[in-house]
Structure formats: structure tokens, C-alpha cells
Structure 1
Amino acid sequence: MAKRRLRAPTISSGPRREFFVHLQRLVLDHGDLPTKELGRLSGYSHQAIYKALVGPAMPSWELTERLTRALGEEQAVEQTRPLWKAGVIDERGLAAAPASVAPAAPAPADATALEQPATPTQRAESSRGRPTRLDLARAAKATEQSVFSLFAVEAPPSQTHFGADPRFQARRALADEIWNHFRGAGANPDAFAAKSARTHLSRWMAATAIPDTHQLVLFAYELQLDALERNELLALRSAAANERSWDDEIQRRGTSA
């Protein structure tokens, strides 16, 4: 398979663009390795590495540090840290306002606001620059404010349940890909607007349940996956469903024998 070509950073200007340009130049200066190889060296999926290099969402510092260390440059880590911090500040709107501008009055607190799933309107507003709940989750993960047990797990959860059992190969492949996307996004299951992801995500990643097509499309939409990544997930889902159907048929034949 041909190497997937990196596109230019999706941010047109500002600290985030400077960060993404810096990372891409760092990769170029060290052999222009493909994202799959960079993922293998840093312990992340190639999709997570690709997004870390092109944006628009800032990656976590954990991913950024592992990627720069994988390139063998301690000096690069120190050069990257202030650029990453400036990018996160820009993404979260934390830059200091001019002294002549009075701070805006805080909006009335709504204790239930964060408990409600994002509406389609709210998600549409994200495309105009307002952060979604997943954007906030990524920012929280980047500053190590969000802790979810799967981030400390190096092996996908599906291996705990099925190990290397060949009967579950396709289901495990789907579960591992979902886990890779979720881990790369730095999100908490509660950050998803779709109830199916909030309720069943842990089972999907453990390969004890298979999402239906609609659920998987919603998952891909909320993680802002591109068409290639979405289609890869759907193809894995189709293979996993076929494997489960065949497994069920074998069990039925064994029961009736």
C-alpha cells in the first residue's frame, strides 16, 4: 500500500498552525517516515498520528511527547513543548484579552447543561468555531485533567476477553480499531452526544458487542474521522458481523446434532 501523503495543516494561521507545521517539519527532517511507522514507534494508531500532524484538534501532550521522542531528539521535545502549550491555549481560547477590553460577565450557571447530550444544532455550531464536548474532552486530556482507565492500558481490551482465539479475529480487529480511534482522541465516553457510544463503547472495545452501522457512523462523525477511516471501520464491522453469524450457525448446528 502506498504511503498516505500528509496534507497541509488545516488551521490557516496562529499558534496551532505553527505547532502542526513544526511537527511536520520534524518528521520530514528525520526521514519522513509513514504514519504507520511513527505510530509503531510511539505506541499510537496511525490515525492518531495523522491527526496529530494535520489538526485541527490539538493532540495530547502524551502523544506529542512520545512522537517527538520516537524521532530520537530530546532537544526536539523541549522545542515542541512551548509550541504545544501555545496551541492548546489558542484552541481553548485562554489567551489574555487586551487590557482595554473588559471581561465578559459570566453566563448563568446551569447545573444540568453538561449532563445533556449535544443537540444537532450545537454540533453544527462546532463547525463555526464553537467547541463540542469532545473538543473539550481532548483539551482536558491534553492538560491531564481527564483520566480514563483505558489510557493506561497498552493492550486493547479485546485481548483480555479473547486473546488470540482465531474464531474472534474479525470482531477483535473491529474492537481494536474502535479502541485506537477512541484512545487517540483522548476522550471520555461521557463526552459523546450519541447515547449508543456513551452506553456501549466499553463493550465495543472489548469485542463483546458489535455496533450497528448507524451507531458506528455516529461514532465516526463525533470523532471527526475522514471518509477513508469511516469506510475502514464499516468494512471491519461487516466482517465482524459475518463472523458472528457464522459462529452462531455453527453453535446452532452443534446444538441440533
Structure 2
Amino acid sequence: MKRRIGEPQVPKGPQYAFFELMQRHVLNQGDRSLAALSKESGWSRQTWHKALRGPELPNRDLVKALVEHLFPEQDGAEVRRRMVEETLAAWTAAVAERTFGSRAGQSQSPSNGSVAKLFGAEGTEPLDTANAPEKQVRPTGAALESREAAESLFRWNPGKQRDNLPEEVRFFELLHNYYASTGRPPVRWIAERMPRESPVTRSTLSDWLNGRSLPSYGGRLRAVLRVMRQYRPDTVDALEADAAEQDRIDEALTRAWWARPR
């Protein structure tokens, strides 16, 4: 018998409603076990469990990715879109409750539009006081050379105009080291050999390898690592170490997603 996930580990309110909605999505989409969800999606069982029960709220991008997995596009693009919108609206309300409290006894609460803008429900970046200011520009000249010499290759994220979080840096460094260990195959070579069910474009691969974006699907990353290894195959004796390194990369990806601003 399938082990039940259990009641959300938060008080009744918007946060509870969000986790309850996530559990209802799983129930309505076949009520698969955490092990089955992990195997088919590439996200760890722990990631699924925390996203379905709490108490910490997952970040917006992870919520979107999990819901899109539960409602694949081939089952209906409109249904998928509505489920994502409904879940992100519930997530926004949950984040607002955690940030501002229940607002009990207060005369005015923030509008849905302002909350959505603040927490990224309209495609904006989530608020992160630890990040660089929104209008920060990348340093140039001597300042850039000094900075790059002192910091990790993956510290600066040109796509988001901010420093990557430490967890993101660790993932990018592990991925880059693995890429180097396989002989640095050309991204075109990798893209051409990807399985049909897990296609990856050259631009996406470039973003991953240069620290500009995180893979949103763990299973697709695993497929990329397997293709990379084909460029410089391991000996039989080294296969176990290679599998362990892929596990470390996968775990680092999960930690990077959970570290994203909520």
C-alpha cells in the first residue's frame, strides 16, 4: 500500500491551502508514490516531499516545474496552463502570509498585483535582499579582471545581473568539473546525441555550463551527463565513481533550487 504523504506541516491558512493543493494535484494525476515521482521526474523524493508537505515553501520556479511535470503538455496545454496559474496564485498567497502574517486586524492588505509583482508571479525576479540591486551593471575593465581573479568562474550571473547563490555556484562548479573530466565535448555534439524524450538545445547547454541558468528537470540533466560520458568513456573500474559523481551533481541541483529566493 502506498504510504501517505501526511497533512501539511503548517497552520491552517494560505500556506496550508498551497500544500493541500499540491497534494491534490498528485492525487488527481494518478496518486503516484514519491519514489515513482522521483524516478520519472529526476527530482529527489525529498524535494517532492517538502514541496507537498512543507513546512518550508519551495521557490516559484520549482513549483512551476513540478506542476508542469504532473500535468504534461501532451495531456492538454490549456489544462496545464490553468493548473500552473492556479498553483502559482496559491503559492503567492502562501508567501504573502509567511512574509506579512495573516493581516488580522489590519485595515488594508497588499493588492494581488503588488504581491504578485513582489514575489515573481508575473515573471519578475523574486525579491532577494542579498542580491545585487536590480539596475546593477556588470563591472568592466580592471575592476572586472580583479573580480574574476578573486572569485569563482560561476559567481557572476550575467543573465540575472546578480551573484549566483553559493548553492548555485557549487552546482555549476560540479557540472563544469564533470564536463572537463569527459574531455569537454562540443555542445553541438552533446545536443545531437540527446535522447528524443530529453532534447536539449545548444543554447540551453551553454547556459548550464556557463552558470547562467539551472536545469529545471533533473532527469534531463542526467541524460546530458550520460551523453557527456560517451565522449570519453570510463573504464569498468571507474563506473561506480562516475555514478557517485552524477549523484553529487543531482543533489547539488536540488539544493540550488531550494536555496532560490521564496
Please give the TM-score of this superposition, normalised by the length of structure 2: 0.45
Hey, which of these two has a bigger chunk of helix by percent? 1
TM-score by length of 1: 0.46
Higher relative contact order (CA 8 A, sep 6+): 2
